[in-house]
Structures are given as structure tokens and as C-alpha cells.
Amino acid sequence: MKLTENARLILEKRYLRKENGVPVETPEEMFLRVARAVAEAEKEFAPQLSPEELEEYVRKFYDLMVSLDFLPNSPTLMNAGRPLGQLSACFVLPVEDSMEEIFTALKDAALIHKSGGGTGFSFSRLRPKNSPVRSTGGLASGPVSFMKVFNAATEAIKQGGTRRGANMGILRVDHPDIVEFISCKEDNKELTNFNISVGLTKEFMEAVARDDYYELKFGDKVYEKLKARDVFDKIVSHAWANGEPGIVFLDRLNEGNPTPELGEIEATNPCGEQPLLPYEACNLGSINLSHMVENGEILWDKLARTVYWSVRFLDNVIEINRFPIEKITAMVRGNRKIGLGVMGWADMLFKLRIPYDSEEAVNLGEKVMSFIQGEAAKASQSLAEERGSFPNIERSIYRGTKRRNATCTTIAPTGTISMIAGTTSGIEPVFALAYTKNVLDGESLIEVNPVFEEYIRTNFSPEIGREIIRQVAATGSVKDIAEIPADMRRVFVTALEISPEWHIRMQAAFQKFTDNAVSKTVNFPPTATKEDVRRAYELAYQLGCKGVTVYRSGSREQEVLVTGARAKDRREGDRSRDKTYPRPRPKRTIGVTEQVKTGCGKMYITVNYDQEGLIETFITTGSSGGCSGFTEGVSRLISLALRANIAPEAIIDQLTSVSCPNFLRRRATDKGIIGKSCPDIIGRVLARELKNWQEFGTNLEANLAAAWEEISATLEGCRQDNERPSEDELIRQGICPECGSRLRHQEGCVTCSCGFSKCG
């Protein structure tokens, strides 16, 4: 197989069958295990199949995966052909308004998490806080308090399975506790195992447009009326602050509900792309679009064949799936929902030399997904002829026709499976064209987008190509690389260089031809305003999206070092007071200390690094080293500037421009003194260490990764050790708890290039 080193590391750590912690199958053997298990379903529908005919299906499914043209979701790769046998990632459970039903949902969620799935809940059926409880005479504690119970349970069991548990919590915008819900993740230490989204209604959005009031109600009782625009502002403000809550448009979810007689859709899975009825699950898989291009042309015939076999594969998965709850088995087999999606969209655009943020790309997105949707429907109809329609078809929008699956398409997150396939994730643009990453064994290397790497290799000499990649690895972008022609810099655009409008338009383009929903993060730069977020939400509603997740870069990790009224101003985004504040100092750094001789005596200069580069200095003087207060002040200001993301080059330029007459006089008699002032010497040392970081950053980062690996290897022990950061603490700092690399926010979740995902 053509697997990258990163893909093999991810497979070894997360997917391959192990004994005593050691892999006992190769990647090829894993795919053969999965292919054999999935092909077994063929015998359910054609008992007369000969062993040779069955082996042909095994070979088809095996080739589909080892070619990396298609991959199923992670639970299928992990569990197919193994005793657990639970192959789905997406579930929704009902939460009804009684203690017995609440804790039944909690128990069911625990069983799903243990088996490797994620769960979505609507808490809208729970009575509001302080409502009377007739059976006890007490008062209800409300949806948010029970979400904390679910969160604690997930925390307790998340170490037991192969994937950490993840939840989605949704509350209708007209629930009386909606204001408390909107702010329930204001503190990033709360509800760490939940993504949250507000369920917006058509009535609410119309009230926002009219600047009118709307009712908060539960049952037949109206609790109060709120200004719709004020509530919308709160949603926007909190999403701007840390990315939560997201929003889902409940009416849109139900417009696409294929079985309305069976119930109303109130919730989605953790990343928001799979709306489901209570006790439903969905099997997901993704086609690698980067493999559907050759010589600048889309291979439509190959894409059609891949869709056909992928649909058959996913329908077979339903048949062999072993769910932990009988009600889920009944619902899944009754509706037979599958979710075929895509990965490698950004790579396809790179190969076609089409900028992501262009009309051409949006139009092509519609064309590609329309084709996949049509071919998936034809494949489902063909399977219905062969195997029969899904049992609930006469209670669906497809009554009177033949169709094997109530839904066929979903654009899901493809985090780790796209890493295995060596392509870009889902329909997301690339986060960085090249970057230095910490791999699972504590080493580090430069990861380069394969299409970009091929372009560099084809168009530049090896020496120039290496220099370009080194420069791109430092920033992730080609926008300032003069050697690359302007039209190609326009093609190789990254997520933060794309305006939110184009993110939304691309999501809407794929949503037009997707049965379920689309998982995507709208990335904003750190300087984005609340008005920018508001416009993105409104555009998503206007263009027909089913939900939106936004993330303003750095908003979740950075802690603002202000208090009181100034902190309030900062949270509310008062542009007149919008300042840059330093990020917190990491708990571990690495660095060097130099002794230098100055015009005032000896000075000791320590320069420390973290994963992003220079972060701080400590400067002390010898017994006759001049003014210690001055050097300490300079040291603090340099550290403050570095942590506030001021370019080191700008700091160095200021320091090295300072001259001292006393210094120059002493230099005339003492040849051991260099520079023209103490600040100049400090600047020279900084410049030297900056160059070292740029030239040897991979080695330096490996040292830092090794320190983090020590933490990762003892995370379980760290739970009782307050001196070491917990997994959640590392995630809050934006650091991967497994390899120490920087985390990314995409596809509605927090992920790392090593394969770690906060959403399981």
C-alpha cells in the first residue's frame, strides 16, 4: 500500500488489532479483515453464493479500501471482523422528562461510548429550571444541570474504549432555559465532553429579521418573551469568544427528514453532520476525491463505480453491525440510513488548479456532489431491486418507489481517515501547506501537502524546492513566497486566507445535494469581529445550510490577562478597546543560556522556545554587570512581546538600533566586548537563536515533543498528580495530549495531525 509514515503510525496506534499492546496485523491485513467481514453480508441476501463468488466481493471491497479510493468511518475499520462488532460512529438518544428516562439515556450513552460511538441529545424536553416536580414536591434543576451529569459520566468512561466519548447537546431557542444554555460553555473548563448547538426555528429567525419578540415556552405555558435579536446577539457573542455554541436550523433538519411519520428530528451526532431520530445510528464512509482526477480532468466513470461499491459496502455494514441497544438495531434496520461523503476536496481543487474561494470551485462543488448524490440514489435503487426496500419505506417520502436506504449521503468529518488516505479532510481547505509536527514516537518531521509537494518538485530545483518548503513550514502559507507565481499562490490558498463567506458558500454548495448535513468549520482570523460572525450565520441561513460551526483562531486557547470591566469589554468585543494580550506561558519550554561580556560586565542571556518559536528571555547580570533592574525590565518586555505574537525580527531590529557611549568607550580598550550596547547584544543573541530555531527547529521541537511524550505516557498517573496538566487542561491550552503538537479546529471538532480527536 502507498501509505505515508504518518498514516502507518496512526494505524498502528489506533486501528490495528493488538495483543499485549503490540500490533499483530499489518494495514493490509486490517483492510482484508474488514473486507471479509463486510462481504459476509452478501450471504444474507444470496445464500447460494459459492465461495469463489463470495471471494470476488471480498476482493472488490478490499481493493476499494487499499487503493484509498474509499474508507469507512473509524469504528468499522477498528471493529469489523472483531468480537465487539459495533461499526457506527453516529447515534442520537432521546432524553425525556423523568428521572427514569434521563438515566436510561445516560446508561445507553455509556454503552455507546464504550463501543466507540458518539451521541447526540436534545435536552429540549426537560422542564425548565425551578419548575415544580409533582412526585417529590421539589424543583427541577433544568437541562444544563443534567448535561453536567452526562458530561461527568462520559469523563468517567472515556478511557475504557478505543475512542473517547463525545456528545452533542442541543436546546431549542424557545426553551425557557436558553439563555443559561448559550453561556454554559463560557468557561472552557465546563462541559468538556460536549459540543453544544442552539436549535434555531424559522419563527425565531423571522423575529430576528423583524427585530421582534418571540416566546419562551414549555408545554402549553409561555414563560416570557425575549427580543429575538438580543438572543441572537448572545449566540454570536459566545461563538465569537470560543466557538460555542454552534447553531442548527431545526426546520431545515426536518425538511430533509425522510420518515416524518416516525418522528421529528431534534438532534444530530457530535459534529453536526448527521441529523437522526431517537435511537437511530448511521454508517458513514468517504470517497477520496483527490484520486478522481488525472491530467487535470475529473474521472467521472471511476467516480461512478466508486460510488456504487461504496453504497453496497455501507449497506452491508448495516447487516453485520452489532449494536449495544436493541432499540437502535430496530431503528437502523428499519430505515437503513447510510452517509456516503467525500474527502480530498481541497486536493482535487489543487490538482485542477482552481482556487477554493472562487465561483468556479463553488460551481464544481455543486456538480461533483450532485453527481455523487445521483449515483448513490441509483445504487440504492439497484440494491432495492436485489434485496428489497428499507422496511419503513411506506411511512416515508419514498412510498410507492423502490429504495434500499432512507438516506444515502452525508459530508462527515474525515479527520483520521483522511490522514490514512494521505489527503485533505472532508470539504475543508488545507489548514497549512507544510508544517512541522510531532509524531507519535516523540520525533518530529515536516509534513507537506502531497499535491503542493509534487508541484514544487516538478517546477523547482531540489535546492530551491527545499528552501521554499522550509519557508512554507514556518508559516503554513505561500502568500509571501515570491518564487511561486501569483496565479499558483492563488490556487494554494489555506483556511485562514479564505474569507468566511467562501467557507459558507462552499458548505451550501455541497448541502444542496446531500441528504443529511455537512460537517464544516468556518474559520475566522483572530481579528474577526462579532459582526463578521453574525454575517456568516445569516448567510448560512439564507443559502440553505442546516447548521454552522465557527471558530476564531486562537479564541479558545488564549487567556486574556485582564480583569473587571476591561475583561468585560474584551469579551464583548468592544473594538475601541480591542488590544493584543499575551498568551499564557507554557508549563514547559526548552532553550539555551549564553554568557556574554558587555561594557558593563558579564551578562547571562537565556532564550526559551515552545512549539511556535521564541517565547521568552531571562537576563541576569554578574556581580559587576551593571543595572540588574534594567536587564530584568528589558527581559520582561521582550517576553511579553514574544507571547503577544510580535515578530521576533521587529524586536531584534529595535534592540540592535540602540547605542551606548559608555559601551563604545570601553570597547576601545577591551577587545572582548562585542556590540554597541546591552540591548544590542541582547538583540544579537535573539537573532542568533531565531536563526537556530528556523534552521534546526525540527530538532528543537523534537526535544519539546519528548518532554510532552513523558506527560502523554503517564496521563493516567497524572490524574492524581496536580502538578502535571490533565488531558482537558492540555486541550484548553491548544496542545495535543498525545503528541504535543498544536491542535486545530476543523469539521466541528478539535483535532491533531497525529490522529487525536476530541470528538472521538
Could you confirm whether 736 is annotated as catalytic?
no
| Annotated catalytic residue, options 6, 167, 193, 269 | 269
Pick from 738, 752, 745: which is nearest to 705 by CA? 738
List of E strands, 517-588? 521-524, 547-552
Query: Please, are residues 178 and 196 in contact by the beta-carbon 8 Å criterion?
Result: no
Query: Please, are residues 290 and 347 in contact by the beta-carbon 8 Å criterion?
Result: yes
Phi and psi (nearest 5°) for 614? -60, 135
Query: Please, are residues 339 and 284 in contact by the beta-carbon 8 Å criterion?
Result: yes
Phi and psi (nearest 5°) for 179? -65, -40
d(CA 153, CA 177): 22
Residues 645, 649, 654, 655: is their CA dihedral positive or negative? positive
| Annotated catalytic residue, options 271, 545, 660, 749 | 271
| Annotated catalytic residue, options 266, 273, 443, 497 | 273
Phi and psi (nearest 5°) for 118? -115, 155
Pick from 567, 602, 595, 599: which is nearest to 581 by CA? 567
* Residue 294 burial class via C-beta count within 10 angstroms: exposed 0-12, middle 13-18, buried 19 and up: exposed
Residue keyed to cell 460555542: 244
Reduce the DSSP state of residue 370 to 3 states and report it: helix
* Residue 8 burial class via C-beta count within 10 angstroms: exposed 0-12, middle 13-18, buried 19 and up: middle
Which residue pairs from 302-308 have beta carbons closer than 8 angstroms and sit at least 24 positions apart in sequence?
Answer: 302/69, 303/368, 303/371, 303/372, 303/375, 304/371, 304/375, 306/64, 306/69, 306/70, 307/340, 307/372, 307/375, 307/376, 307/379, 308/375, 308/378, 308/379, 308/382
Q: Where are the alpha helices (DSSP H) in 3-126?
A: 5-10, 27-39, 42-45, 51-66, 74-79, 99-115
Cell of 553: 483562531
Reduce the DSSP state of residue 556 to 3 states and report it: coil
Pick from 589, 585, 569, 587: which is nearest to 577 by CA? 569
Could you confirm whether 56 is annotated as catalytic?
no
Residues 93, 95, 96, 98: is their CA dihedral positive or negative? positive
Terminal alpha carbon distance of the chain: 26
Could you confirm whether 100 is annotated as catalytic?
no
- For the annotated catalytic residues, the residue numbers are 269, 271, 273
